[in-house]
């Protein structure tokens, strides 16, 4: 079954799956309208619907995306960490931010 990515439409600080999550769903299922955990409105994120593997983070990374998951105020886990990048991104520590100049290639 394919995995779909969803994003909360608004801040949902108490939801552990904020800002986004992945759901395994049959293709014919309608998109979720609300977060299964907190009930807040969500939208399906385009581009992920054809990805049929659990290695979504790897695919994002290969496409040049960086996926950050908020773990605390101002602290994010870098799910698409590349060699040399920190596992956790701290907004207050610029040296932990993903190295975009190494990611973006023409
Ligand atoms: Zn939620």
Q: Structure pTM?
A: 0.45
Same domain, 76 and 39: no
Same domain, 69 and 96: yes
Cα 93 to Cα 4: distance, rounded to the nearest angstrom: 32
- Distance (angstroms) between ligand 1 centre and the Cα of 71 equals 14
Same domain, 16 and 47: yes
- Distance (angstroms) between ligand 1 centre and the Cα of 70 equals 13
Same domain, 104 and 87: yes
pLDDT of 74? 81
Same domain, 35 and 60: no
- Distance (angstroms) between ligand 1 centre and the Cα of 106 equals 37
- Distance (angstroms) between ligand 1 centre and the Cα of 39 equals 6
- Distance (angstroms) between ligand 1 centre and the Cα of 20 equals 8
pLDDT of 53? 47
- Distance (angstroms) between ligand 1 centre and the Cα of 88 equals 22
Q: Which domain holds residue 66?
A: 55-106
* Average pLDDT rounded to a whole number, residues 88-101: 78
Lowest mean pLDDT among 2-6, 26-30, 31-35, 44-48: 44-48
Same domain, 49 and 76: no
- Distance (angstroms) between ligand 1 centre and the Cα of 84 equals 32
Same domain, 24 and 40: yes
Same domain, 47 and 60: no
Same domain, 49 and 86: no
Task: For 48-92, write each residue's pLDDT tens digit.
Answer: 444 444 556 766 666 667 777 888 888 888 877 777 778 888 888
- Distance (angstroms) between ligand 1 centre and the Cα of 32 equals 12
Same domain, 41 and 72: no
Residue, of 66 and 10, whose pLDDT is higher? 10
Look at the chain and report how many structural domains it folds into: 2
Same domain, 48 and 80: no
The full 3-state SS of the chain, as one line of letters, equals CCEEEEEECCCCCCCCCCCEEEEECCCCCCCCCECCCCCCEEEECCCCCCCCCCCHHHHHHHCCCCCEEEEECCEEEECCCCCCCCCEEECCCHHHCCCHHHHCCC
């Amino acid at each position: 079954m394919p995995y779909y990515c969803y994003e909360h439409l608004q801040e949902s600080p108490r939801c552990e799956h904020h800002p986004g999550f992945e759901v395994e769903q049959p293709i014919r299922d309608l998109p979720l309208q609300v977060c299964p955990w907190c009930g807040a409105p969500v939208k399906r994120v385009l581009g992920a619907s054809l990805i049929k593997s659990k290695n979504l983070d790897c695919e994002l990374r290969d496409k040049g995306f960086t996926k950050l998951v908020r773990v605390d105020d101002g602290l994010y886990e870098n799910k698409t960490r590349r060699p040399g990048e920190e596992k956790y991104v701290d907004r207050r520590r610029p040296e932990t931010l993903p190295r975009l100049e190494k990611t973006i290639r023409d």
